[in-house]
Amino acid sequence: MDITMNLGKVPETVLKRSVLNQISHRREEVLVGPAIGEDCSVLAVAEDEVLVLSTDPITGTVQDIGTLAVHITANDIASNGAEVIGIMLTILLPDGTAETELRGAMQDMEAACKQLNIEIIGGHTEITKAVRQPIITVTGVGKMKRNEMIKTAGAKPGQEIVMTKWAGLEGTAIIAASKEAELTTKYSQSFIDGAKKMIEFISVVPEAMVARASGVTSMHDVTEGGIFGALWEIGAASKVGMEVDLKKILLRQETVEICEFYDINPYMLISSGCMLIVTDQANYLVDRLKAGGIAAAVIGRITEGNDRVIINEDEKRFLEPPKSDELYKVM
């Protein structure tokens, strides 16, 4: 069977059939390999230490592309509980790109690396007719003790789900920056500026550090597909069900307004900067996060079986595998 794919993530069925099922060669050093919901690979490098690797491209926007490129990969590695050491870059630029654009992106990446104590350790830069806008792919390398690994697949029935910050965080900032002229027809400049500044909360490294010290069993940063997609991925990776209270999912008013303006679903909007954490001590973790100035809430619990349910008062809806992100409807 052959299907035509749309913009965004490859559908889960295609990912399984045409990507994961094609990978068969294995090495004993690889402790965590490619799987649904797993954003990082883990390699054993010593008896008690492992390397954690992750790679991601920035394709949906050129706004803040350098900053986003660093933080998205750092978030993946931090979600495994690891310390990010360095990143390698692949930068593809369209014909006619000005040198100042490249220099500006590199300066933004170096600033983000300095903030997170990461080194740019290599990469490749190319001008090519194969792209119409700049594309940056970042491969990150982190390290951690073998017995401290935290996987997306660590959720167990009876545990609770904590989210940090706000659903739709990244998408809101991207839309506000890219569609500012359209939004000014309805909203004030201060409102739009507030939405754009949400990009400042893009890193989940701070909450990952708090969670790692609090004995959590699963962490997953919320990216394409939004919080609904990330919840599904935790369930699929851990082979569990869940019940989530829609009214407890944190949203900023800027996200609500902008999503209404473009008639898109905030719960299916790219949300880097938001993290899902599964733990036996949810209230304790929320208190620790809030003490560190990080918004957090308990939004649901892990259940037996495979039913992944969103509850909105008396209504229930079943989660589905992630589809094309809502951002693409706007961009």
So what's the pLDDT on residue 36?
A: 83
Strand 135-145: give its sheet, edge to edge: 30-32, 41-44, 49-58, 135-145, 83-93, 119-127
Quickly state the pLDDT bin for 8 (edges 50, 70, 90). low
| Percentage of residues in the chain having pLDDT higher than 70 | 96
What ranges do the domains of the chain cover?
Answer: 28-148, 152-330
Q: Count CB-CB contacts under 10 A for residue 7.
A: 12
Q: Region 240-250: what's the mean pLDDT?
A: 98
- pLDDT reading at 41 higher than 90: no
Cα 192 to Cα 190: distance, rounded to the nearest angstrom:
5
Nearby residues of 204 by Cβ (< 8 Å), 6 or more positions away: 75, 78, 79, 164, 221, 272, 273, 274, 275
Quickly state the pLDDT bin for 10 (edges 50, 70, 90). low
So what's the pLDDT on residue 98?
A: 86
So what's the pLDDT on residue 28?
A: 78
More confident residue, 213 or 63: 213
Fold of the domain spanning 152-330: Phosphoribosyl-aminoimidazole Synthetase; Chain A, domain 2 (3.90.650)
Following CA atoms 101, 107, 109, 111 in sequence, which dihedral angle do they give, to the nearest 10 degrees? -150
- pLDDT reading at 30 higher than 80: no
The alpha-carbon radius of gyration of the chain (Å, integer) is 19
For the record, the structure tokens of 198 come out as 């949400």
Tell me the per-residue pLDDT of 184-233, one tens digit each, with 9 for 90 and over.
Answer: 999 999 999 999 999 999 999 999 999 999 989 999 999 999 999 999 99
Strands 296-303 and 218-221: unpaired
So what's the pLDDT on residue 60?
A: 75
Tell me the per-residue pLDDT of 166-178, one tens digit each, with 9 for 90 and over.
Answer: 999 999 999 999 9
So what's the pLDDT on residue 6?
A: 67
Nearest to 52 by CA among 16, 79, 26, 70: 79
Nearby residues of 323 by Cβ (< 8 Å), 6 or more positions away: 8, 9, 11, 225, 229, 268
Fold agreement (28-148, 152-330): no
- pLDDT reading at 25 higher than 80: no
User: What does pLDDT average to over the chain?
Assistant: 91
Angle among Cα 219, 324, 73 to the nearest 5 degrees reads 40
Tell me the per-residue pLDDT of 271-326, one tens digit each, with 9 for 90 and over.
Answer: 999 999 999 999 999 999 999 999 999 999 999 999 999 999 999 999 999 989 99
Q: Roughly what angle, to the nearest 10 degrees, separates helices 99-116 and 65-79?
A: 30
Tell me the per-residue pLDDT of 227-244, one tens digit each, with 9 for 90 and over.
Answer: 999 999 999 999 999 999
For residue 123, the Cα-to-chain-centroid distance in whole angstroms is: 22
Q: Region 12-22: what's the mean pLDDT?
A: 79
- pLDDT reading at 150 higher than 70: yes
So what's the pLDDT on residue 45?
A: 80
Nearby residues of 111 by Cβ (< 8 Å), 6 or more positions away: 67
- pLDDT reading at 1 higher than 70: no
So what's the pLDDT on residue 43?
A: 77
So what's the pLDDT on residue 289?
A: 98
More confident residue, 44 or 297: 297
At the second CATH level, the architecture of 28-148 is: 2-Layer Sandwich (3.30)
- pLDDT reading at 5 higher than 70: no
Phi-psi region of 164 (alpha: psi -120 to 50; beta: other; left: phi over 0): beta
